[in-house]
Amino acid sequence: MPRTERYFLSSNILFLLLLLLMNLDLGWAWTTPDCTIADSSLLTNISYYIPFCSLAPGLHLFALCSNVKNLAHTLAALPRRLEALCLQGTVPILPADAFEHFPTLQLLRLQLGTMRVTSGAFQGLDHLEYLFFELPTPCCLSLFLQPDALKPLKFLNSLSFQGYCLNSSHNIQLPVSLRYLTMRHSCLMELQELQGLFPSLVPGSIPKGSSNPQSSFLEVLDLSANLQLSRVGIRGLHGLQLHSLKLDGTPLSALELIGSGLFYLNSLSLISTGTKKLPRNITAYFKLHALDLGRNQIQRIENEDLLGCHSLELLNLHANGLYFLPTRFLDALPQLQRLNLSLNKLGPTLELPQGLVNSNLRVLDLSYNGLNALPSGSFFSIPQLQELWLSGNNITNLSNGSLVGLRRLKTLDLSWNKIKVLELGWLSFLPALTSLNLLGTYIEVFSGKLLQGPQKLSHLWLGSFASLELCSEWPSTLLSLEAWSEVAITFRVSLGESFKLLESLTLQTRYVIQDANKTIIHFPSLRHLTLRGCDTNVFSIQESQRFFSRLPFLEHLHFWSDHSREDIQFSGMPQLRVLELGDMDRLSEPSTVNLEVLLKELPHLEVLVLSNLNIGNLSLSSFRNVGLLRLLLLNSEWALGLDSSLQELIPQMPQYVYFSDVIFICQCESSWVGLWAARAPNTFVYGLEKSICMANASDVSQTPLLSFLSGNCPDDTELQGFLTSFTLVLLLIIFALLSCPKWPWVHHLRTLFHAWCWKVGGWHHRNQYTYDVFISYCEKDQEWVLAELIPALEKPLPSGEGFRICIPERDFEIGQDRMDTMADSLKTSRTILCVLSRQALDNLWCNLELRLATYLLVAKPGTTHLLLLFLEPIDRKQLHSYHRLARWLQREDYLNLPQKRTEWDAFWEQLRKKLRKAVQERED
């Protein structure tokens, strides 16, 4: 796509988050030769955006620039109000004031190879919170920072170095606001090197009397994946206080931290370090609250290993091959609140260690431990437990006493077990349960009576490898339900509104069946519906076959099916705003979809996502009934044609159009597409520059669409020649008629023709204007007009705008006919500004001025411009008598005076801009 200065306008459109479900790599954006502008909320699956998007929720303007070599040239093409920027390429020097034009930048990620950062490079980034120097692979390239390079970043929260070697840098001043410091895949060999790199980080390394400010309490120091980090050094961290230290994947012995001089440490992470025993000495020394030992080699824990671990609140022993826990395990950890024992070998029969009945344990994860059974009273010793995770075991059944004692449990995960039957009352000991997961089990018949016991069960997941039958009464508190089955899900619910509060429903199966002898199931509160692989009968045209008959409040529908869509219809969904429709079976040839019929009864649709549907041809009729559509995404379409009739829809095209993995038909009928994508004033288009087209069904060549259109579809010279010759012949006939004196009507025709020629030539505009702005207002509004409006427009810059203003009370001469003078003043003014209020609309003279102004615009279009200024909110019904005002209200040629005086500065600027534009148009 040609370079353009249009960019995506971030706004409060929460439904755009739906694109996260599509697992897109880049989201949607417009593209310059090396930059992509997008919304950062679409990229929250990328690690370095997670903290940014969670701490700064909402939509953010994001730019990704690859193959950057000329930094100044690249940055000049970007919008100034970026909030996140990622640069990839080779830039050897980061010059001073490189980012001075991006004052709103909050996140900056630099992948620029070997680089030297000069002083003042980050000058002007007053709002930057996240700074990343990162490489995609750990290649340890050299990075040099001047000592004061980071000094301008007064609000920097996170600083990351990944894949870079800082051996040449010294005495780097860290901002006092820094909370997260990361050095991964670096050349760090011992912790003492941090003293030379960041003196303010390690207070003990700052010489006495130095004015260098010390860093405040650092929350996280991440030194993971430093394969050469094996030593601490003599008091290498003297005086440093940390909340969390991460040494994952390093050969450093945690025991050496005792002699490091580290002043305070709350959490220690030693994932994948080859640890074979609990580091009790380091735990006791720092009185650690959190210890992460995931993916290590701790196969057995003895009682003596727990000495000194009494302060732990979180312990992670995930994937250690652990098969033995001491009998006094929980007794030795009285403060423990979260315990992760997943992916170990504690089965087949659960035998929790004895402990105090008043244990503080809140979260217990025993997933994937080979458990076969849960004996009665297994969790009696941990009554404070709120979350229990038992996924991926071999549990076949649960007795009534298996969960006794867990009266505070809120989350229970039993997914991917071999459970076939559940007894009535098995949840009777869990009154506080809110979430229950039974996905991946062998339960074929699930009755709502099995859920008796919990008083506020709101989230339920059910799944079976065979057919799944849901029957009987269901909890009235249920808010979300997800069910899947290989074959079919059958609903045998007797009450018509058993799901009256259900807001989210997800079904994954081939067939959704409703018992013919039962009452029709209603979902009166459903807002989110997701269907994967389901037969299209659920939305059949025939009312008797439909499963979802009425969904009055449904807003989001995600429907992926590999069945025929010829008889599908989305009716009874008046509030639907987001529709995602796709074919799950990409290997089969999908049936053709008629969009006009499909979207016929969706008047409020705002987002439409279509994937692998064999749409065939898009035309004007496809979008006839979706006037509110704002986003259109076409994904994985084959042989797509764009009808020329779509040109009529250009002014009403969706605001955002995205093409992903779309193969078009090579046809000149679509030649308008390239120009539209590059210059459409109201539409944001992405994906055409990467799209290809094919000449026929057997064409497998990779022909770029835009190259084909520009090279094979030139302008039709024959048509242009015909139109030119036709126009010349017509003009000759007109001139011949005008020169004939015999016909009386020729005189009138000649007059009209001369007037048209003068208008086309622009001669009638020249030198006929005396004033720039004529202001019409009511006498009761005169005080505000004279005190506020006139000075803001008439005074010279910078206090005013220097317009030549005409107001009746000042500029009409005494003795002149007011009506004639007003008509002449309106004609000789480039712009008419009508100040409207309720009392102005009730004033007869103001009405006359307003009607005269609108008549002048209708009678002589193009001679002047009308702008309405509302001093107070006015009901549009009061303007019905002014039928000509409708076109100006539709064209948005009006302004509303803010009720708060603090907003007047922005109002004056907007008013002056509109008046300047109108005056310039008349001048030209």
> What is the SS3 assignment for 846-904?
HHHHHHHHHHHHHHCCCCCEEEEEECCCCCHHHHCCCCCHHHHHHCCCEEECCCCHHHH
Summary mean pLDDT of the chain: 79
CB atoms within 10 A of CB 331: 17
Residue 398 has a pLDDT of 84
pLDDT at 717 over 50: no
Confidence of residue 26 (pLDDT cuts 50, 70, 90): very low
Name the strand (E) or helix (H) holding 793.
Answer: helix 790-794
Q: In angstroms, how far is CA 19 from the centroid of its own chain?
A: 8
Q: Which of the residue ranges 267-271, 328-332, 564-568, 841-845 would you say has the lowest mean pLDDT?
A: 564-568
**Spatial CA neighbour of 98 closest among 89, 108, 88:** 108
pLDDT for residue 519? 61
Residue 334: pLDDT above 50?
yes
Q: At what angle do helices 717-738 and 745-761 cross, to 10 degrees?
A: 130
Q: What is the pLDDT of residues 464-505, one digit of tens each?
A: 888 898 887 788 899 999 999 988 898 887 655 678 889 999
Amino acid identity, residue 271?
Answer: I
Give residue 358's pLDDT.
61
pLDDT for the residue numbered 537: 77
pLDDT of residue 33: 39
Residue 2 has pLDDT above 60, yes or no: no
Cα 308 to chain center, whole Å?
A: 46
Provide the percentage of residues in the chain whose pLDDT is more than 70. Answer: 78
**Can you give the pLDDT at residue 10?**
27
Helix (H) or strand (E) holding 481: strand 480-485
Which DSSP string do the residues of 694-724 spell out, in sequence order?
A: ESSTT----EEHHHHHHHH----HHHHHHHH
pLDDT given at position 46: 33
Lowest-pLDDT range, 344-358, 516-530, 769-783? 344-358
- Out of 224-233, 262-271, 621-630, least confident range: 621-630
DSSP state of 305: G
Give residue 738's pLDDT: 57
**Which residue spans within 9-83 are E strands per DSSP?**
29-31, 35-39, 61-68
Q: What average pLDDT score do residues 641-662 get? A: 80
Mean per-residue pLDDT, 752-760 = 53
Question: Residue 27 pLDDT > 50, yes or no?
Answer: no
pLDDT attached to residue 204 = 60
Q: Which residue has the higher pLDDT, 519 or 661?
A: 661
- Winning range, highest mean pLDDT, from 381-395, 701-715, 749-763: 381-395
The mean per-residue pLDDT over the stretch 296-318 comes to: 93
Average pLDDT value for residue range 612-639: 80
pLDDT value of position 862: 60
pLDDT, tens digit, 9 for 90 and up, residues 406-464: 999 999 999 999 999 888 889 999 999 999 999 999 999 998 888 988 999 999 999 98
Which pLDDT does position 7 carry in this prediction? 26
> Per-residue pLDDT for 745 more than 70?
no
Mean pLDDT within 647-675: 80
164 neighbors 186 (Cβ within 8 angstroms): yes
Q: pTM for this one?
A: 0.70
pLDDT digits (tens, 9 = 90+) for 387-400: 999 999 999 888 77
Position 807, amino acid? I
Compute the distance between CA of residue 918 and CA of residue 894 in angstroms, rounded to an integer: 13
Please tell me which residue, 47 or 688, carries the higher pLDDT value: 688
Q: What is the mean predicted confidence (pLDDT) over 595-620?
A: 82
**pLDDT reported for residue 461:** 95
- 918 versus 216: the higher-pLDDT residue is 918
Q: Is the pLDDT of residue 115 over 70?
A: yes
Higher pLDDT, 22 or 77: 77
Q: What is the DSSP letter of 168?
A: T
Predicted pLDDT of residue 52: 42
At residue 744, the pLDDT reads 54
Of 14-23, 48-57, 185-194, 550-559, the range with the lowest mean pLDDT is: 14-23
The CA distance from 270 to 296, in Å, is 8
Q: What is the pLDDT of residues 170-194, one digit of tens each?
A: 889 999 999 999 999 998 999 989 9
Q: Are strands 703-704 and 692-694 parallel, antiparallel or unpaired?
A: antiparallel
pLDDT at 56: 46
Q: What is d(CA 826, CA 852) in angstroms, rounded to the nearest whole number?
A: 9
The least confident of 227-231, 235-239, 345-349, 862-866 is 862-866
- Point out the least confidently predicted range of 371-385, 634-648, 726-740: 726-740
Lowest average pLDDT, out of 267-271, 401-405, 411-415, goes to: 401-405
User: 44-58, 183-197, 674-688: lowest mean pLDDT where?
Assistant: 44-58
Residue 381 pLDDT class (50, 70, 90 cuts)? confident
Predicted local distance difference test score (pLDDT) of residue 653: 78
For strands 107-111 and 387-389, give the pairing: unpaired
The burial class, CB within 10 Å (0-12 / 13-18 / 19+), for 698 is exposed
832: Cβ contacts below 8 Å, ≥ 6 apart: 773, 774, 776, 826, 853, 856, 864, 865, 866, 867
- C-alpha dihedral sign at 788, 790, 793, 799: negative
pLDDT of residue 697: 66
What would the pLDDT profile of 131-176 be if each residue is shown by its tens digit? 999 987 777 889 999 999 999 999 999 999 999 999 888 889 999 9
DSSP H or E segment with residue 692 = strand 692-694
Contacts of 863 (CB under 8 A, 6+ apart): 764, 765, 827, 856, 857, 922
Q: How confident is the model at residue 206, as a pLDDT?
A: 53
302 has a pLDDT exceeding 60: yes
The region of weakest confidence among 208-212, 610-614, 789-793 is 208-212
Tokens of 71: 């930094």
Q: Give the mean pLDDT of 912-916.
A: 85
pLDDT score, position 214: 47
Whether 765 shows a pLDDT value over 50: the answer reads no
pLDDT tens digit sequence for 790-800: 888 887 766 66
Neighbours of 393 (CB within 10 A): 25
Query: Which range is least confidently modeled, 323-327, 437-441, 687-691?
Result: 687-691
CA distance 245 to 265: 7
The torsion region of residue 105 among left (phi > 0), alpha (psi -120 to 50) and beta comes to beta
